[in-house]
Structure 1
């Protein structure tokens, strides 16, 4: 049995065309089994997976896998022309079987089928327990919900049975029951699995945790909780070391000042004795030279102690992690309390959002939540039994699939396109407050991480003038790390307009102080409730 690690990184570096480095001289290995790859938004996790999968070429160094691999990209939901069969990876086999059944004798068709004549039956047996019984394999994924698309994509990779599989944020858009189905697949996954995720429950299923932090890979044995416990212990020690080093530096600086005071006093006394004529001039000069030499040695020694204490403090400070904060303030949209904002209705009931009410729209994957939002925004019916209407013009919409902006334009250019009156400095400052700084704001949207892309879309809403009176957010926590989710919840908590949020993240919903929930039930029914989402 080979002991070669499934994935090995050697001096791996990657820079964007602008010259900005995304990764620099990264070394490390990924162990066999299930591994969670974690790190803050923008740390380079998705870029690293793309390098391992061969989607990007390293600027220098290597990212090597010792066996064939399968890869689920974070931007899967953007590929709308894909069919279910393609998503499952069986479209070529099905096409070859259909050609043979139509009379083809082309050897290439028989090679494509191989021993997989029963592939459709086997796949349907896998689909049924997941709630996809009778699903049309030629159906386009654009007609599926984001959660349904993600679950099918993961199933396709499991069916492929590659020795190594990379999954980038596989729980995006998944409701609770669907997440449980995904967790079950992960528990029984064969081969090496590397998962990028901010889903703690999924990370708890991992056998190893690898962190990408400040350009370095660190491997921890065990799931996320074991990593978190070890990190907290290390951080407590680092913080204590920083406090000790700070106190030591303070002492050394005080002793340096006290020594200078004594030296100055002794110099004045020696000068007074010399001026009084109580000491021969040659002796006074000798003592003065000796005193100055001793003072120089003392200063050098004290300066060395201060420098050493400062170096210890700098080293300790580097080990203490600082969490950057999304720092945004949403303008007051001046929404009258009696203003009707929107109507959401089913065949038997209608619900009115009025004034600055905060509403959560919830329901299982495929129930029609996103369809309803899009229909409302387009001013059309969502279906025979579920519909809605907007009564405002000043609306900000964050789509689930993060589509609608120009992928080839930079974050700066995309925001400037929807905020023509904003100066370049204003746009750049807004992006910086959303943690998109420097050249990151100048890279094409297509190469940004999921969390960075989200911030660009959010900036297009926040720079709207006049401010939106209704924010419609469809799964806004996708791809966000835990600190960013908390900070986004805090910012939206202070928003004075109306809020309509679709999310499967119950903790996030609990941050928003919602007035009520509207749950999409069977056959497009809507049910109003007031439970604490937490």
Structure 2
């Protein structure tokens, strides 16, 4: 049961994988009641930390203390397809005892199994209904449910158990907009401790505080994501100002050291000149020389110390500035001129039943958002546009070079390096040309030689995007499949947005992430719900 005293503490927490890869080192953390958004770069250890808190992993050092029961929804929830819904909800035993009592079995063990939970079926159905799963019967099996429904079922099980501490890892992945809205409502209503790892801006706008995990240390920011970004921007502005001040101080200390050395040299030359002219006795000249030398030594030590201090302050100031580089894309050959034909759809019937009646045209560098519930056929439509699937009837004609980026990012060969993967798509490009372009995607030097199979989620996405955008011929229609921001940290999502903003061709992107779509300056919204029709961002936000 949730309790206001629920709490999480971590002291000197460390974790290292069996291969020696260290993820967390001497982490200290304290989380009390309320909603906490845990953010950080890909690879910072966010998911690992949740698994440690949930007891799925054992720390290699330090201590974890949790007051209250823990409920954990992993990023990739896997349920046995043969499992019944009531078993997944954790109410199978109680429900079986209730039915036995109703059938006349008054055994003591039956009443012990029920305890005080006589309304468990009503609560279960109410919880399922609140999460949009009212049509799911308690006797159905997991194999009859979609991936998004399984995620919501996992959340329903946690809500029924009412733990004091709730841990959610990327809970909106694989959820359509309606399911997301229901999850948001559940988060808003949560009474205990909640820690959520997410890239979903709308979800992070609902938290009470942000915990920024970076280099095994957590920095706290009060308020939601917008408040965090404002505070971080102010911090970075102050840090950059301190860098400028420190740089000016280093220049001044270098100048003063040089001036002191020049003055010392002048004094030595002057003393030597007086001695050579016989104006000063030898013993006095020697004393003056020693005094000048000692004075010069003291001045040199003083200015050298000041310069070292200034450089140290500069290093500290530079360290405070985050080096979250941005992708820079300059691809003039991808440009589509206004009015140029890009795509034509005519009376299209897709492989799984969705339709495009009449004629749809894409002309010029349009930016199209393709939205719809899970299972509506968005993936099938994009694969049809990419030429991977044949339509049942009608036609889809692309009039410019097109490239398709699937959610699995399987355009990359895991056994090849990033450079070699790009070369597959642009066989006539020189190695130097590819490396120069990859630097704009933040693959510089040895990073471009890493195998695709060793890349993190964010790196893999950048590599796949680079391979498609640098391909020959240059793509003037880019198709992005289902939630391109899934599993990307906020910095990587910003990089993706920057890259797509710089892209000058036509764009079709399928996503449930409305803020992400709006950041791409979408010019046309299309809803696929059995049939394809025009819609608006406002209608999408309202749940179609």
Distance 1:435 1:142, change over 3 A: farther
Shift of 1:185: 0.8
Aligned partners of 1:10 and 1:28 also within 8 Å: yes
Q: Matched residues in 2 for 1:117 and 1:449: separation?
A: 48
Give the equivalent residue in structure 1 for 2:532. 526
Q: Which residue of 1 aligns with 2:123?
A: 122
Which consecutive unaligned segments of at least 5 residues does structure 1 have? none
1:508 matched residue in structure 2: 516
The residue aligned with 1:479 is: 487
| Equivalent in 396, 404, 407 of residue 397 of structure 1 | 404
> How is 1:300-311 mapped onto 2 (pairs within 5 angstroms)?
300-311=301-312
1:269 deviation in Å? Answer: 1.6
Q: CA deviation at 1:190?
A: 3.5
1:501 shift after superposition: 0.7
Residues 443 and 379 from structure 1, CA distance in 2 versus in 1: closer, same or farther, beyond 3 angstroms?
closer
> Which aligned pairs between 1:286-435 and structure 2 lie closer than 5 A?
286-327=287-328, 332=333, 337-338=340-341, 340=343, 345=348, 346=355, 348-353=357-362, 357-374=366-383, 378-381=388-391, 389=396, 391=398, 396-400=403-407, 402=408, 412=417, 416=421, 419=424, 430=438, 433-434=441-442
On the 8 A contact 1:470/1:498 being kept in 2, the answer is: yes
The answer to whether the 8 A contact 1:14-1:22 is kept is yes
Q: Is the 8 A contact 1:412 1:428 kept in 2?
A: no
**Residues 135 and 20 (structure 1), Cα distance of their counterparts in 2 relative to 1, 3 Å cut:** same
Aligned to 1:156: 157
Per the alignment, residue 132 of structure 1 pairs with 133
Structure 1 residues 134 and 94, CA, compared in 2 at 3 Å: closer, same or farther?
Answer: farther
Task: Name the SS for the 1:55 alignment partner.
Answer: coil
> Is the CA contact 2:37–2:196 (under 8 Å) kept in the aligned structure 1?
yes
1:55-93 superposed Cα distances (whole Å, 9 cap, x missing partner): 3333333444344322222233x8795878289534855
- TM-score scaled by structure 1? 0.79
Q: How does 1:24-39 map to 2 (within 5 A)?
A: 24-39=25-40
The SS at the match of 1:306 is helix
Q: 1:480-518 CA distances to partner (integer Å, 9 max, x unpaired)?
A: 344433332232233355432112333433444545332
Residue 94 (structure 1) shift: 9.3
Shift of residue 194 of structure 1?
Answer: 0.6
> 1:160 Cα deviation (Å)?
2.7
Q: By how many angstroms is 1:280 displaced?
A: 2.3
**In structure 1, C-alpha distance between the alignment counterparts of 2:532 and 2:198, rounded to whole Å:** 32
Alignment partner, residue 351 of structure 2: none
Give the C-alpha shift of residue 519 in structure 1: 1.7
SS of 1:48 mapped into structure 2: helix
Q: Find the counterpart in structure 2 of residue 89 from structure 1.
A: 89
> For 2:283 and 2:190, how far apart are their aligned partners in 1?
91
Distance 1:238 1:512, change over 3 A: closer
Partner of 1:57: 58
Q: CA deviation at 1:304?
A: 0.8
**Correspondence 1:488 to 2:496:** yes
Q: Tell me how many residue pairs correspond in the alignment.
A: 522
Range 301-310 or range 204-213, more displaced = 204-213
Distance 2:379 2:87 in 1: 21
Q: CA deviation at 1:211?
A: 1.8
- Note closer, same or farther for the CA distance 1:193–1:234 as it changes in structure 2 (3 Å cut): same
Q: CA deviation at 1:214?
A: 2.8
Q: How big is each residue's C-alpha offset from its partner over 1:353-381, in whole Å with a ceiling of 9 and x where there is no partner? A: 46765432123455332343356655255
1:322 CA displacement: 2.9
Q: Equivalent residue of 1:205, what SS?
A: coil
Q: Secondary structure at the match of 1:527?
A: strand
Distance 1:307 1:172, change over 3 A: same
User: Are the counterparts in 2 of residues 242 and 317 from structure 1 also a CA contact under 8 Å?
Assistant: yes
Residue 477 of structure 1 deviates from its aligned partner by 1.9
Give SS of 2:357's match: coil
SS in 1 for 2:288: helix
- Superposed CA deviations along residues 298-319 of structure 1, whole A, max 9, x for unmatched, are 1011111111122122222222
Q: After superposition, where does 1:89-238 map in structure 2 within 5 Å?
A: 89-90=89-90, 93=93, 114=114, 119-135=120-136, 138=140, 140=142, 144=146, 146=148, 148-238=149-239
Cα gap change, 1:252/1:54 in structure 2, threshold over 3 Å: closer, same or farther?
same
* In 1: Cα distance, 2:75 partner to 2:415 partner: 19
Question: C-alpha separation between the residues in 1 aligned to 2:394 and 2:88?
Answer: 32
Match of 2:352 in 1: none
Q: Secondary structure of 2:479's partner? A: strand
Unaligned 5+ runs, structure 2: 349-354
CA–CA separation in structure 1 for the residues paired with 2:20 and 2:130: 48
- After superposition, the C-alpha distances for 1:450-470 in whole angstroms (9 at most, x for unaligned) are 545544554564575655554
Counterparts of 1:436-475 in structure 2, within 5 Å, are 451-452=458-459, 454-455=461-462, 457-458=464-465, 461-462=468-469, 468=475, 470-473=477-480, 474-475=482-483
Structure 2 CA distance for aligned equivalents of residues 403 and 91 of structure 1: 38
Kept in 1: contact 2:14–2:26 (CA 8 A): yes
Change (3 A) 1:100 1:369: farther
